[in-house]
Chain A
């Protein structure tokens, strides 16, 4: 099993979508339809194909912390979310994810706005938002790098990978690098135990990551960030 990171040879599959098996002829959907137009850091404004709906709170489109909450296509999606659940409490988590998609993180003022929009008590909104680690309570960089250090990854050097990320981005754990490009965090199991060390960068999985592969990976991301 080789990862694009381990070898210098250019992959047959474009790097930008390593999880996309290519058009096998079995389905008629294009990747753009499944993933949204721009894969990294982007999700279609209308939410994309339903197959992508439950995931990707890290796929951040605007990342403008001062952006108005739920306007235009986001408003449509917000209203759609509310109709999906029997009560407004059930819709809270997807609404928080949507807010994070717009603003990059859920700040106290965002939580307050959501409380007003949904009628859920502010304290409860905060309680829910703080429970889920996939919701960023603080601003994060353009790339949120989540390194797994749970059992399998730990046995295969997850700690070293984490340290490599911290060293090459020049940040402390949870801190955002200069220019707001990288934030490195440590996470529990990413459910990719077969390919340790697993790293999730925004919504994308990178598997079999080794400390040696970290600088090249970061370089590639820096290029994309420009």
Chain B
């Protein structure tokens, strides 16, 4: 281990296993390295540890009292038992207290299925509670924004209080009152209005006390499929999970990546997922103008489009989208090259300001509200238009050569786009008036339905995985474009998104040497240092 050279190590015995960790590691973290999961509420890897939930107490041989493992550092030669009768009895007792005032409303609780209290009590709790006192009730409180608070379910772990204090640096939550009347609240009616990161307290709440209004009673946790992904709403590229039920994205949740977003994401990105569920989709390839267009199956459609592309009128101009993956953009660049080369532009929305997370400024809602501006730029595409993502295509109406569009809906241009083009091929997911003069409209998958990579603002290439099945005949754009290239006499169609990614590297030296394996779930930096468009330089 490289750490051992710089840091003194300690070796101890933990549940009969020998564990060697750097000095200063807590017992809880050391236990995780050998797969021992100590129950805990108040400890969170992104926050300080107040050691107040009393659930992570473990037995240290020779110590008179149980030790809170989240703050106790592992010492050389220590013998720790997390499953000894003493520790288990203590946990059972603590859990009984947690349930003394808990409403046990799991059947209507959104957290049910991913609730730490449920899990721990199910694993180690008493079969019957012994409390005969009436339970005290709080009801619920609307904190504003997306956060709803159910006081009765709360265990006072204060993760939310510490998140707002330490990470959001906006200490608006506190514990009010004392004893069993204590409850989490803001300053009276102040709420969480104006906080750009408040949604994270819903994620870190180990029980169902803080729930999302948007997700309220929408889906059960056990019905959700989790697909690792990357937030497509700005160029920060926060690692997320798509939570999907029946091919409908229900919510976005941050996925830990200590170099990009830690455990957090912003509310801006979190709440922009509805577009992934749009039902108005282009579902079949249509070849021919809007008046006499014919829906075709892919083989026929590709052959007809390729036939026309073989005699593509020059010059070739293409509009791409910075919301497309590197694979899609690379395949488009390959096609344009196969047609004899031409200009590729993209338009993207830019915010007026960045929104940094004060406690972890690496995570910032960036200026660019598209996920892959970096990828588009290293592939030689140029950004045109205004900061609201419109304009820049004023001269294109008179274009008489070949027009290719990938992904951009061209809402501001409408039916005026490409009427005089010699050949106009539109690849997109959503029907748009701008495609009405297209000679072919080809359905492609969205970000949520496909596999690929984005390059974020700092030049980190990150993978996303499909979470939703594509509708109809929609296919990944890289596949469609590569099939056209093959029919034009180019390279064979890549067998997978990974192969398509390797082919993109031919166009961009920055990507050379990177593979899906190297990128993994945490991303990998581009080979060459790149200027950071959109970052605070």
Please list the residues of chain A having a beta carbon within 8 angstroms of any beta carbon in chain B: 108, 111-112, 115, 121-127, 130-131, 133
B11 interface hit (Cβ, 8 Å): no
Contacts of A125 in B (CB 8 A): 187
Contacts of A122 in B (CB 8 A): 172, 187, 190
Please list the residues of chain B having a beta carbon within 8 angstroms of any beta carbon in chain A: 171-178, 185-188, 190
- Interface pairs A-B: 4 shortest CB-CB: A127-B174, A122-B187, A123-B174, A121-B171
Nearest to B164 among chain A residues (CB) is A123
Majority SS of interface residues in chain A?
Answer: helix
Cβ-defined contact, A126 with B176, below 8 A: yes
Residue from B174, B176, B186 with most neighbouring chain A CB atoms (10 Å): B174
- A-B contacts, 22 of them at CB < 8 A, read A112-B187, A121-B171, A121-B172, A121-B174, A122-B187, A123-B171, A123-B172, A123-B173, A123-B185, A123-B186, A123-B187, A124-B174, A125-B187, A126-B174, A126-B176, A126-B187, A127-B174, A130-B176, A130-B177, A131-B175, A131-B177, A131-B178
Contacts of A131 in B (CB 8 A): 175, 177-178
Nearest to A121 among chain B residues (CB) is B171
Contacts of B175 in A (CB 8 A): 127, 131
Majority SS of interface residues in chain B?
Answer: loop
Contacts of B172 in A (CB 8 A): 121-123
Distance between B194 CB and nearest chain A CB, rounded to angstroms: 14
Contacts of B174 in A (CB 8 A): 121, 123-124, 126-127
Distance between B222 CB and nearest chain A CB, rounded to angstroms: 35
Cβ-defined contact, A108 with B188, below 8 A: yes
Contacts of A123 in B (CB 8 A): 171-174, 185-187, 190
Cβ-defined contact, A127 with B188, below 8 A: no
Nearest to A108 among chain B residues (CB) is B188
Separation of A55 and B259 alpha carbons in the complex (Å)? 52
Distance between B69 CB and nearest chain A CB, rounded to angstroms: 27
Contacts of A130 in B (CB 8 A): 176-178
Contacts of B178 in A (CB 8 A): 130-131, 133
Distance between B213 CB and nearest chain A CB, rounded to angstroms: 21
Distance between A126 CB and nearest chain B CB, rounded to angstroms: 5
Contacts of A121 in B (CB 8 A): 171-172, 174
Distance between B176 CB and nearest chain A CB, rounded to angstroms: 5
Distance between A164 CB and nearest chain B CB, rounded to angstroms: 27
Residue from B185, B187, B190 with most neighbouring chain A CB atoms (10 Å): B187
Nearest to A125 among chain B residues (CB) is B187
Separation of A122 and B173 alpha carbons in the complex (Å)? 9
Separation of A127 and B190 alpha carbons in the complex (Å)? 14
Contacts of A127 in B (CB 8 A): 174-176
Distance between B173 CB and nearest chain A CB, rounded to angstroms: 6
Nearest to B181 among chain A residues (CB) is A130
Contacts of A112 in B (CB 8 A): 187
Nearest to A111 among chain B residues (CB) is B187
Separation of A65 and B187 alpha carbons in the complex (Å)? 20
